Amino acid sequence: MGRYSYFIKSAFIFIILSAFTYFIHFLIFRDPHHIFIYLVGDLGFLPLEVFLVVIILERILSRRERQIMLQKLNMVVGAFFSEVGSRLLGDLLGHFDNRAEISGHLNVTKDWTSVDFKRAAAYAYNLEIDLDCRKIDLEGLKAFLSQKRTFLLGLMENPNLLEHDRFTDLLWAVTHLDEELQARPSLKDLPEKDLHHLAVDIQRMYDHLSSEWLDYVQHLRSNYPFLYSLVLRIHPFQEHPSAILV
């Protein structure tokens, strides 16, 4: 009841002010008929006014605020892939035994349509990685994630991420892998069970990573064709990525 007391008190004050104003009008003009005509007219227009102001205008403002927030969020996602994500996508892909199959499904080209992105997203969502952790430079991965830890923690403090659960899950997957690697004094001669555990963590992270990357690239395709052009040239799922135009 306490949290509604402010609204109850406010409503009571405004009702008193309204009644007092009508009373002053009656004292001056002595015309209750005129007062009731306008009172009924105002009450009749009130539902329409509520509809226009509260529902229509509020929705327009909320949609605009959401668009601005999503714009800022996509800037955060772009910063993540520029700083961390693209490097992880490429470095890890080279150690997967089924990298040719993965690249065949995720090799975004300039001819891709929304249908192609939808098909690739379905594949990435159920992505299965053929991975042997002994083929991965775990020490190098550990050093890279340790170097980017402050950057990742800074992203997780961004309030805009509250509207993007999937990207938050990606950040959690990356930071969890970082913690797993940092918790081991040495990554050499690990037992098979431990290698399997790390492989599951890498699988989880790469699933989120590839799905979010596709969403981000599709966003660039629709809104920033100049950035989309760069991604098409440098993404790791093509045979010879290069920023140089030929």
Same-domain pairing of 110 and 167: yes
| Short-list 71, 77, 67, CA closest to 156 | 77
Same-domain pairing of 111 and 185: yes
Same-domain pairing of 47 and 131: no
Same-domain pairing of 35 and 111: no
The structural domain count of the chain equals 2
Give the structural domain span for 22.
2-60
Same-domain pairing of 108 and 208: yes
Query: Between the CA of residue 76 and those of 82, 83, 176, what are the distances in Å?
Result: 10, 11, 20
* 118: amino acid identity, one letter: K
Residue 90 lies in a domain: yes
pLDDT in tens, 156-213: 888 777 667 888 899 999 999 999 999 998 998 899 999 999 999 999 999 999 999 9
Residue 241 lies in a domain: no
Residue 20: the pLDDT is 79
Residue 43: the pLDDT is 67
Same-domain pairing of 52 and 93: no
Identify the segments of the chain with pLDDT beneath 70.
Answer: 1-4, 34-35, 38-41, 43-46, 48-54, 56-58, 60-70, 162-163, 246
Same-domain pairing of 6 and 109: no
Same-domain pairing of 183 and 79: yes
Residue 239 lies in a domain: no
Same-domain pairing of 142 and 181: yes
Same-domain pairing of 105 and 178: yes
Residue 194: the pLDDT is 93
Quickly list H helices, 107-191.
Answer: 114-125, 138-147, 149-156, 165-182
Same-domain pairing of 152 and 218: yes
Residue 162: the pLDDT is 65
Same-domain pairing of 19 and 119: no
Residue 213 lies in a domain: yes
Residue 161 lies in a domain: yes
pLDDT in tens, 1-14: 555 677 777 777 87
Query: Between the CA of residue 59 and those of 65, 72, 94, 183, 188, what are the distances in Å?
Result: 10, 20, 47, 48, 57
